[in-house]
């Protein structure tokens, strides 16, 4: 986490300096745009992080063990596949949720399935994709991606014994 913060800070400083070299209009516009985005996204990010904290705390350990752990097998993988498809606000909510579930004991095959499903199948992206690509390309992309999360979960399950022996 510290490396990520440091990397993003260095990138921000570089962009601020670059905007400064482009003149006062660009510099002020960049700060104005950044402030607007900060105001729009802060409530979503704060709510997502708070939700993740509550999920980590109040989701019963039995649920994690029965439905999301390594021992859940196909149940956990299919649940994660479906959850990734229907998760609103995709990455903004998905990342804190994954961190909370992982910390609470969710298995890596379930986590990989969810992350892959979230990245490739999240329904929240479909209207935007249709706007950019049209229905045909969007539906083709969705159709060919349908099995990728399941494959990611199964591959993770197969690789875990190998990775854990090293």
In a domain, 38, yes or no: yes
Name the residue with tokens 């090293």: 166
Give residue 90's pLDDT band: very low, low, confident or very high (50, 70, 90). low
Prediction pTM value: 0.74
Alpha helices in 22-147, H assignment, sequence order: 24-58, 61-63, 74-86, 90-104, 108-121, 126-133, 135-145
Name the residue with tokens 């199948």: 121
In a domain, 57, yes or no: yes
In a domain, 14, yes or no: no
In a domain, 6, yes or no: no
Give dist(CA 61, CA 69) in Å, integer.
10
Q: At what angle do helices 135-145 and 126-133 cross, to 10 degrees?
A: 130
By three-state DSSP, how is residue 96 classified?
helix
Task: Please state the domain count of the chain.
Answer: 1
Give residue 49's pLDDT band: very low, low, confident or very high (50, 70, 90). confident
In a domain, 155, yes or no: yes
């Amino acid at each position: 986490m510290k490396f990520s913060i440091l990397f993003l800070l260095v990138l921000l400083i570089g962009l601020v300096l670059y905007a400064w070299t482009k003149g006062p209009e660009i510099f002020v516009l960049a700060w104005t745009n950044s402030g607007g985005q900060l105001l729009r996204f802060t409530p979503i990010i704060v709510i997502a992080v708070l939700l993740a904290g509550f999920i980590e705390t109040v989701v019963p350990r039995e649920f994690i063990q029965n439905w999301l752990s390594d021992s859940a097998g196909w149940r956990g993988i299919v649940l994660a596949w479906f959850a990734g498809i229907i998760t609103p606000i995709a990455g903004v909510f998905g990342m804190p949720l994954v961190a909370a579930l992982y910390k609470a004991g969710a298995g890596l095959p379930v986590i990989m399935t969810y992350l892959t499903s979230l990245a490739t199948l999240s329904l929240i992206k479909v209207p935007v994709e249709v706007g950019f690509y049209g229905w045909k390309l969007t539906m083709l992309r969705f159709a060919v991606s349908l099995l990728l999360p399941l494959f990611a979960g199964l591959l993770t399950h197969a690789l875990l014994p190998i990775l854990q022996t090293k």
